Amino acid sequence: MTTDDITLHRGLAGVYFDRSATTFIDGKEGVLEYRGYNIDELAELSTFEETAYLLIHGELPTQTQLDNYDADLKGARELPEQIFDILALIKDSHPMDALRTAVSALAGFDPDRNDNSAEATIRKGLRLTSQVPSIVMAHHNIRAGKDPIKPSTTLNHAGNFLYMMDGKEPSAQAMNLMDKDFVLHADHGSNASAFTARVVAGTAADLHGAITAGIAALSGPSHGGAAENVMQMAREIGKAENAADYVQDLLSNRKRVMGFGHRVYKAEDPRAGHLREGVKDLSEEMGQPEWYRILEAVVDAMKPYTRRGIHVNVDFFAGVIYYLNGIPQDLFVPIFAVGRIPGWTIQVIEQFEHNILIRPLLQYTGKRNRKYVPIAERG
């Protein structure tokens, strides 16, 4: 084969590499569906627990199924003592590094280790769904010199996550917004972290390995890290009147405006609008409406770019919601991971179902046929 015969797909953009019955995305029209249900309905009508069940089992649960699933999730929130010791040893790490390390370590404590059957992977995924919030908040407290807060046995997934931050029961509005955020983040097709998880599963490695790698992929600013950067940007902008100049300055230096653009969506990310209202309401309720005004001023400044398919994405409004809920900036990406565990789990299960090693090719551009020169003769 000559180099002329090779078609490169850098970044694998536009390449279909397998089939999936979990999440449908139409990037041109801005449509997202989990198992055939539109995200607009799920965001407004469903809960994280119900959506997670839907993703994993393919159907919305009956009340009994949901009650059992919810009880199983609540029963799996505790962490082995050794995980707290590990978190204490790495207390100064970025929370994503701490999360990645703790999830990796949990593999050794899981009762289903060495079992990659669908049933065992579902059980492991359920445990990780409950353990990941506990890890994030345990690390958060340990690094502040405090004891981790025992998970609630009654609050829902979103409420328990917020509760474990400071031991205070969150407001209904804070809980609802967090729940909606988790629903919106639960899966998203073959994004970088899910693809990474599939590559790991493709070698027949286990769910903990796949999710550990997925967390690593998620941590970068081109993927999950954007919410953190959007909040940083909003702080730097300071007030709405500064937004246009700030954005212009970024763009004229060929820098990216965080929370804008998407590899798949060339219309507005259908997840973003559900959080827009949340920012508006919460910032007004908390007497800090400037945050919403800053974000809207950035959206206005970016209007000329919508013609090029650069719209707000899910991360744009999320950061300010987290901030207003008192969540530190470096926990924003871990929140994305908390919501994404069901998505990574089902994608690993799909990968196992008809597994194939994922092993693409690289076009070689280096030198060839060089003669080995002994070290003494090298100039």
At residue 275, what are phi and psi to the nearest 5 degrees?
-95, -20
* Identity of the residue, 82 or 222, whose beta carbon is nearer to ligand CMC in the bound complex: 222
Verify binding: residue 217, ligand CMC, rule CB under 6 A.
no
Select the span of 35-43, 91-99, 117-125, 306-314 touching ligand CMC (CB under 6 A).
306-314
Catalytic residue check, 92: no
Verify binding: residue 222, ligand CMC, rule CB under 6 A.
yes
The pair of three-digit structure tokens given for residue 58, joined into one six-digit string: 């393919």
Verify binding: residue 196, ligand CMC, rule CB under 6 A.
no
Helix, strand or coil, per DSSP, at residue 142:
helix
Residue with tokens 């959007």: 230
10 Å Cβ neighbour count for 209?
A: 18
46, 51, 313, 325: which one binds ligand CMC (CB under 6 A):
313
Report in angstroms how near the CB of residue 229 gets to ligand CMC at its nearest.
7
Helix, strand or coil, per DSSP, at residue 37:
strand
Verify binding: residue 258, ligand CMC, rule CB under 6 A.
yes
Verify binding: residue 190, ligand CMC, rule CB under 6 A.
no
Active-site option among 139, 140, 185, 262: 262
Select the span of 99-107, 207-215, 252-260, 358-366 touching ligand CMC (CB under 6 A).
252-260
Verify binding: residue 151, ligand CMC, rule CB under 6 A.
no
Cβ partners under 8 Å of residue 374, min gap 6: none
Sheet of strand 23-26, all strands in order from the earlier edge strand to the far edge: 23-26, 31-34, 37-38
260, 317, 322, 332: which one binds ligand CMC (CB under 6 A):
260
Verify binding: residue 247, ligand CMC, rule CB under 6 A.
no
- In terms of phi and psi (left: phi > 0; alpha: psi -120 to 50; beta: otherwise), the region of 351 is alpha
Verify binding: residue 107, ligand CMC, rule CB under 6 A.
no
* Identity of the residue, 202 or 214, whose beta carbon is nearer to ligand CMC in the bound complex: 214
Residue with tokens 């797909």: 9
Cβ partners under 8 Å of residue 345, min gap 6: 56, 121, 122, 124, 125, 128, 129, 207, 211
Name the residues that contact ligand CMC, by CB under 6 A. 11, 188, 191, 222-223, 226, 256-263, 310, 313-315
Residues that are catalytic: 262, 315
